[in-house]
Structure 1
Amino acid sequence: MQETNQSSFHSPTIFQRFPNLVAAESKRHGGVSVAPFSSLNLGINTNDEPENVRENRRLFFEKLGVSENTLASSYQVHGDTIQLVTEPGRAEGFDALVTNVPEIMVGVTVADCTPVLIYDARCGVVGAVHAGWRGTVSQLVYKTLETMHGEYGTAPGDCYAYVGTCIDECAFEVGEEVAEQFPDTFKRFDAVTKKFLVDLKRANAAQLENFGIPAAQIEISPYSTITHNADYFSYRLEKGQTGRMLAVIGMKNS
C-alpha cells in the first residue's frame, strides 16, 4: 500500500514486510466533507454531517480492501484503560485496543494525539493506542505491551511498532503543570515564548524501547499535524473545528 501526497492514507513501512497485515493511518484527502472538515473526516464525534462521515469511512476502508464492519474502536477518554477485543464493534472508555483475532481491525481516532500501532509477528497480536499527553504520561503504550505479554505471551523481539503522525515538538507548547509530568529528556523550555515544548513521539517511542522492542523495529512518522496540516487534521491549529484521522491495524487470514 503505497501513497502519494494526495492519497487518503499513509502505510507505515515497518509493516509492509508482513503480507497478512493491514495497517494504515488516514490523511485528510479523498473524502466528501466540506470545510472545516475537508475532506476525509473519519471522526464520528465531530460536528460534521453524519452522512459525510459514513461515506468517508466507507471510502477509507474500501481503499484498504477491508470491510468497515471488521473495525473495533472505542469512544476515547484520554485514560489508560485497554480493551481486549474479541469481536468488531464500538465500545466506550478505552484508549487502547488489542486483539489476536484475525479479520478484526483495531483503530483509534486522532487529530494531534499520538497514534501507536503494534504488531506481534510471532503470536499474531495487534494493538492500537491513542496517546495524548495524558496517555503518554500514564505510560499507556508500555501498559498495552505489558497486557499483550500477559494475555498472549508477546515478547519484545517479536514486536514491530509505528509511532504515528501527531503534533510535533516544535508546536506542542504546554504550561509548567503539564511539563512537570514529563522527564527532562522529552521537553525543553523556550525562552522566547516562556513555554515548555514536549516531544510526544520520542516519549512514546521510549516506552516501546523500554519494553525491549529493538529500535530497528520501530518506525516514527516524519509527519506533523501542525507542519503538514494540508495533509493531516490538527485540533489545536484549527481551534477544535476539524476532522479526525483513523489509525488502524489488523491481520488477514493467511
Structure 2
Amino acid sequence: MSGEFFFAGSELRAGLLAAHPGIAHGFGTRDGASPEGTLTTVKQIHSTRVVDAATILRQEVIEGDALVTNRPGLAVAVKTADCFPILLADPVAHVVAAIHAGWRGTAAGIVTSTIERIRELYGSEPRDILAAIGPGIEACCFEVGPEVAREFAHWDRRLYCTTTKEMVDLAAANAHQLADSGVPRNNIAHAGLCTADRTDLFFSFRKERDRAGRMVSWIALRPDTTTGQ
C-alpha cells in the first residue's frame, strides 16, 4: 500500500485522492464539524448493501453500508467510531464511493460488493480505482472472541491474528479485498491511525462506549466547470 495522509484543518485527507483536482474528500476527526446537511448518507446496518446515492430522496431512510455515485457535486458519506471508512474514486469513469467497514461488513465482503456494484452501474475498471482506508481500530487494539475470529478463518491467519490472542487486522483484510478485486496495490492508501489508541484525535466506541461520537468521512466529484455540471 502507498500514499500519505495529512491534516487539513479538522479533517484528514489522503494524498492519493487529493492529487486529483476533480475529487473532493475528507476523513472526519474528533474535532471535525459534521456537515451532514450537505451529505448523502444511509442508515448503516453492518451489511454488504451498496446504495446508488442518486436514488435516495431527502425524506427517505435507506439502509446500507456503502454509497456510490457518478453525479458531480453529490457528496456521499459514512459515519464511524472504530469501523473503517474507505473512500474510493475512479477518475477515469468519474465515480466515487464511501464505505462503512466494520468487522461484520469486512468479513462479508463490503469492499468487494462495492467494486462489483460500481463496475455494474458505471463501467468502472478496478485498475483505475483509487482507494483510501481511513482511521479505524487497528490490530493492536482489536482483540476479539473466537466467534468473531472464526469469521476470518478463511483468510491467512498470519495476516489477521497477529499474536497468540485473537487480534483481527481489519485494515489488512479490506486491503486484501481491494487487491483481490483488481485494485493495484500502489492505488491503495492506509492512514494507519488507530481510533482506539488515539482518542485524542478520534472517537472510539470500544474505548468510550455510549459516550463516543461519530466521525463523518465523505467524498464527491467536483462539478465540471468545462460542462457546467
TM-score by length of 1: 0.80
Alpha-carbon distance in structure 2 between the residues aligned to 1:81 and 1:238:
28
Question: One-letter code of the match for 1:81?
Answer: R
The 1:83/1:201 distance shift into structure 2, 3 A limit, reads same
1:238 aligned residue:
208
Deviation at 1:176, TM superposition (A): 0.7
Aligned to 2:160: 187
Change (3 A) 1:140 1:185: farther
Distance in 1 (CA, whole Å) between partners of 2:97 and 2:161 is 30
Q: What is the distance in 2 between the residues matched to 1:252 and 1:189?
A: 40
Paired residue for 2:7?
Answer: 3
Distance 1:158 1:197 in 2: 32
The amino acid across from 1:3 in the alignment is F
**Paired position in structure 2 for 1:33:** none
Q: 1:101 aligns with which of 61, 67, 71?
A: 71
Which residue of structure 2 aligns with residue 143 of structure 1?
113
Contact kept in structure 2, 1:72 and 1:88, CA below 8 Å: no
What is the alpha-carbon distance in structure 2 between the residues aligned to residue 88 and residue 160 of structure 1?
Answer: 28
**Retained in 2: the 8 A contact 1:70–1:88?**
no
**Unmatched runs of 5 consecutive residues or more in structure 1:** 30-39, 41-55, 62-67
Q: Which one has more relative contact order, counting CA pairs under 8 Å at least 6 apart?
A: 2
Aligned-partner Cα distance in 2 for 1:129–1:229? 22
Give 1:186's aligned amino acid. Answer: L
What value does the CA root-mean-square deviation take over the aligned residues?
1.8
**Of 98-107 and 178-187, the range deviating more from structure 2:** 178-187
Q: Secondary structure at the match of 1:75?
A: coil
- CA distance in 1 between counterparts of 2:97 and 2:61 reads 15
Distance 1:233 1:198, change over 3 A: same
The within-5 A match list for 1:1-254 is 3=7, 7-29=9-31, 40=32, 56-57=33-34, 61=35, 68-86=36-54, 89=58, 91-182=61-152, 183=155, 184-188=157-161, 190-191=163-164, 195-254=165-224
CA distance in 1 between counterparts of 2:6 and 2:15 reads 9
Distance in 2, Cα, partners of 1:88 & 1:103:
16
SS at match of 1:23: strand
- Can you list the C-alpha shifts for 1:17-55, whole angstroms capped at 9, x where unaligned? 1112111101112xxxxxxxxxx4xxxxxxxxxxxxxxx
Query: Where in structure 2 are there 5+ consecutive unaligned residues?
Result: 225-229
Shift of 1:180: 1.1
Does the CA-based 8 Å contact 1:11-1:24 persist in structure 2?
A: yes
* Conserved 8 A contact 2:162-2:168: no
**Runs of at least 4 residues of structure 1 off by over 6 A?**
none
Q: Structure 2 counterpart of 1:85, which letter? A: A
Residue pair 2:84, 2:102 contacting (<8 A) in 1 also = yes
- Looking at structure 2, the residues matched to 88 and 25 of structure 1 have their Cα atoms a distance apart, in angstroms, of 24
C-alpha contact 1:119 1:159 (8 A) present in aligned 2: yes
Distance (whole Å) between structure 1 residues aligned to residue 57 and residue 18 of structure 2: 24
Displacement of 1:240: 2.6
Sequence identity (%): 34
